[in-house]
Amino acid sequence: MKARSRLSFARLSRTLPFGLLALGAACGSPPAAQAPCPTGPEPSATAGATPEQGPATPAEADAFVAQVNQDLKKLWTDAERAAWVKANFITHDTEEIESQEQEAVMEYTARKIRESQRFADVQGLSPDTARMLYLLKYSAGLPAPSDPAKRKRLAEIATQMESMYGKGQYCSPKLKGKGEDKNSECLSLEELSKIIGKSRDWDLLLEVWKGWRTVSPPMRPMYQEFVQLGNEGAREIGFNDMSEIWKGGYDMSAEDFEKEMDRLWTEVKPLYDRLHCYVRARLRKQYGADKIGVKAPIPAHVLGNMWAQEWTTLYPMMEPYKGHGQVNLTPELVKKKYTPIKMVKLGEGFFTSLGMPPLPKTFWERSLFEKPKDRDVVCHASAWDVNMSGDLRIKMCIEITHEDLVTIHHELGHDYYFEYYKDQPPLFQAGANDGFHEGIGDTLALSVTPSYLKKIGLLDKVSEDPKADLNLLMNRALEGIAFLPFGKLVDEWRWRVFSGRVKPNDYNKAWWELREKYQGVAPPVARSEQDFDPGAKYHVASNVPYTRYFIARILQYQFHRALCRASGYEGPLYKCSIYGNKAAGQKMIAMLKLGASKPWPEALRAISGETKMDATAIIDYYKPLIDWLDDQNKGEQCGWD
């Protein structure tokens, strides 16, 4: 699958990319007479209360959060419209306007967090007010320094890094004719990624892998300054550094959150290790023992993905039983003349089958479904509610592939989450935690089963062949299981950078140490501190928190198991599809409507009856594959040195 979606800006900051904002009609001023951008709505009398006014009261806290909700809805909506235009029209002007919008949001959020500290010890707060104050405290994922010049600089850096990534390309005579323009030797990320996914030429893969990583070194000094300014802002609102904010807001302490992530990783690591062992053995047969060591980390450029985070494009090489079942629908989609719109309609039909409403007319009028030929856009798939009141959209350069069909289901999961909590106050318009938002989209992808595909006419028959089942599970594991360590390590690297545990002169070294530790992968050529390989990943360049995706993969299977039980299904978990089941739909809706209004264990209870994240559902789902891998790996030296 593609790298996971970017949620729209009008969410709590802990759920969005802090570098993506754009047009707001230049803060409402005509271009020829642009006035300075405001720093956000002026505080009301109650919202700006100071300690000199006497002890704070619950009534003042209620008034404070009411005003903040009102102000944030306007700020976030303006920023969301700006972000939409910037993502669809990458120009110097939209970058500048984006920076202004981002600066306004950062300033207001930081100011209100400081003001909210007045209510920290107030007794008798209503549950809703107390929760809104808690969420506000952790909402500044990119906290702005109070110094206007530093705040402006932070916004500029965030915008510039995202734009550098979005416009990135690699030019080499070795690549001439390998992109869409057969006369060009310059390829975009999408074109380079296609080569990584399809080619098995060691040297070509190496050229492409190295080439994309020429985009990120210019970001390195910018990122160092970005961290310094963000940490300064964090200290101004009571945190030691940004890592404390990023690990907070999960209804537990930062320390407990780290322990929880380690617990979940420990539960799934044995399954990942089995898959890694099997994949490495197959790659050794392909490339030879001189290139793929018996007990060595796997070179990162041969795993079929630019970041080695998902390995589905290697499926033909990894397929357990050739010719059994059909796990790739791309030929069928092409044969049946599917278009991007038709693929999205198919995804919408899944949600309406659960008892959810059709997407609004404006969704079809305002979304971006195909890559324009006349301009640069951010093709990274994303879901949006531009006005926080149901202006749903997706932005995606859809291709007629199985992969994009699954991604569409994922993005629509975000949009339906937006739809169901749109009546909540703005501070509650977010997932129960940020992993929930990603997890819902991923959950629906597990219901894209052969039985579902037969019902919608994309398969003629459903095979009862156990070998076909293993092929399906392998295909799913190359995406879902292969991703888990990467999902954990990206933010672990950033937490260490933010806290100062990793110094700027060790950025790249620390990155590859974590990649080897968790993934068992290594760079195919020597890397140095002249490189900035973390910045070659969208979520680092755009400052999007990443642990949410690790949490989402855990919740994905836990949600799926719960919804299958609610539907009355009793067979193997990997064969279950909740398509058409209203009982499962009602369970999902009960959770979606809560937004962030309740601690995440309560939202988890609404859908599953459980209050603890549980990785055993993953083990249940892949049990036949686990047994098969154990047999296949006999005689292999699993693990890596």
Report pLDDT digits (tens) over 348-367: 999 999 999 999 999 999 99
Q: Please report the pLDDT score of residue 14 as a whole number.
A: 31
Given the residues 276, 402, 409, 414, select the one marked as catalytic. 414
Strand partners, 169: 188
Given the residues 276, 410, 437, 560, select the one marked as catalytic. 410
Given the residues 539, 552, 560, 596, select the one marked as catalytic. 539
Is-catalytic flag, 380? Answer: yes
Q: What is the mean pLDDT of the chain?
A: 90
Given the residues 381, 468, 477, 552, select the one marked as catalytic. 381
- CA dist., res. 210 & res. 195, Å (int): 13
- Enter the tokens of residue 312: 């589905």
Is-catalytic flag, 185? Answer: no
Question: What is the share, in percent, of the chain residues with pLDDT greater than 70?
Answer: 92
pLDDT tens, residue by residue, 88-119? 998 889 988 987 887 888 889 989 999 999 99
Given the residues 49, 140, 155, 380, select the one marked as catalytic. 380
- CA dist., res. 407 & res. 346, Å (int): 12
- Is the pLDDT score of 54 beyond 80? no
- Is the pLDDT score of 9 beyond 70? no
Q: Please report the pLDDT score of residue 479 as a whole number.
A: 93
Residue 545 · residue 141 · CB < 8 Å: yes
Candidate from 2-11, 236-245, 434-443 with smallest mean pLDDT: 2-11
The packing angle between helices 434-446 and 402-421, to 10°, is 130
Is-catalytic flag, 414? Answer: yes
- Enter the tokens of residue 66: 């009411």
Is-catalytic flag, 574? Answer: no
- Enter the tokens of residue 50: 């100071």
Given the residues 416, 421, 549, 622, select the one marked as catalytic. 549
Q: What is the mean pLDDT of residues 286-297?
A: 97
Q: Please report the pLDDT score of residue 376 as a whole number.
A: 83
Q: Please report the pLDDT score of residue 377 as a whole number.
A: 87
Given the residues 95, 101, 162, 438, select the one marked as catalytic. 438
Q: Where are the alpha helices (DSSP H) in 531-593?
A: 538-541, 547-566, 582-592
Q: Please report the pLDDT score of residue 53 as a whole number.
A: 63
Q: What is the mean pLDDT of residues 225-230?
A: 98
Q: Please report the pLDDT score of residue 488 as a whole number.
A: 98
Given the residues 101, 319, 411, 516, select the one marked as catalytic. 411
pLDDT tens, residue by residue, 239-264? 999 999 999 889 999 999 999 999 99
Which range of 9-23, 206-220, 449-463 scores highest in mean pLDDT? It is 206-220
Is-catalytic flag, 411? Answer: yes
Q: What is the mean pLDDT of residues 161-165?
A: 92
Confidence class of residue 46 from pLDDT cuts 50, 70 and 90?
A: very low
Q: Please report the pLDDT score of residue 217 as a whole number.
A: 98
Task: Give Cα 250 distance to the centre of its chain.
Answer: 17
Confidence class of residue 142 from pLDDT cuts 50, 70 and 90?
A: confident
> What backbone phi and psi angles, to 5 degrees, belong to 186?
-105, 125
> What backbone phi and psi angles, to 5 degrees, belong to 430?
-165, 170
Is-catalytic flag, 560? Answer: no
